[in-house]
């Protein structure tokens, strides 16, 4: 079922009415529980969750020179939600332009290969990438997932 990973340039990721929550990867937060909480939060505010789950990952270097990983879960809602409480944030439009893009079909443990292919392609073509990437979990079929990966170019 695995398909070749094709890389495209100059793609745009555009999301509307996005609820965002940072996930503490050090504490081993349970993604399934967080997704359910986010969906219940959206519903409690009179909206409906729409579209697939999106994960944003970014890297930064702290003052000690250590690389820090930041992971955010994003969920689109049927309409903009006002009066958002912590730990959530809300964006009416999230638009990431000029991205390298890959569609991945395979087992979730191999998803990293698609990220690696984007990085290798960027390196081979002398393209500099930002330190953020977005993974859109489009579908799950048996043991395979379909995911779209967007990495903005500098």
Please list the rounded mean pLDDT of every run of 10 residues in the chain (154 residues): 83 97 78 91 96 94 88 96 95 97 94 96 96 95 93 95
| C-beta neighbour count of 15 within 10 angstroms | 19
| C-beta neighbour count of 144 within 10 angstroms | 17
- What gap in Å lies between CA 23 and CA 142, rounded to an integer? 26
The DSSP call for residue 41 is H
Supply the DSSP string of 54-85, one letter for each residue.
Answer: EEEEEEEE-TTS-EEEEEEEEEEESS---SPP
Give 130: exposed, middle or buried? Use CB within 10 Å, 0-12, 13-18, 19+. Answer: middle
The DSSP call for residue 142 is T
pLDDT score of 30: 81
109-140 pLDDT tens trace: 999 999 999 999 999 999 999 999 999 999 99
pLDDT score of 28: 61
H or E element: which one contains 120?
helix 111-124
pLDDT score of 97: 96
H or E element: which one contains 37?
helix 31-44
């Amino acid at each position: 079922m695995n398909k070749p990973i094709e890389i495209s340039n100059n793609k745009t990721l555009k999301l509307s009415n996005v609820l965002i929550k940072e996930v503490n990867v050090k504490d081993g937060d349970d993604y399934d529980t967080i997704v359910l909480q986010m969906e219940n939060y959206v519903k409690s505010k009179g909206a409906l969750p729409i579209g697939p789950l999106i994960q944003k990952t970014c890297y930064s270097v702290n003052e000690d020179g250590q690389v820090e990983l930041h992971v955010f879960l994003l969920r689109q809602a049927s309409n903009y939600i006002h009066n958002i409480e912590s730990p959530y944030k809300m964006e009416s439009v999230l638009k990431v332009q000029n991205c390298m893009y890959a569609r991945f079909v395979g087992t979730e443990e191999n998803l990293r290969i698609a990220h690696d292919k984007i990085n290798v392609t960027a390196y081979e073509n002398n393209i500099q990438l930002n330190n953020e990437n977005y993974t859109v979990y489009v579908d799950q079929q048996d043991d395979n997932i379909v995911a779209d990966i967007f990495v903005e170019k500098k």
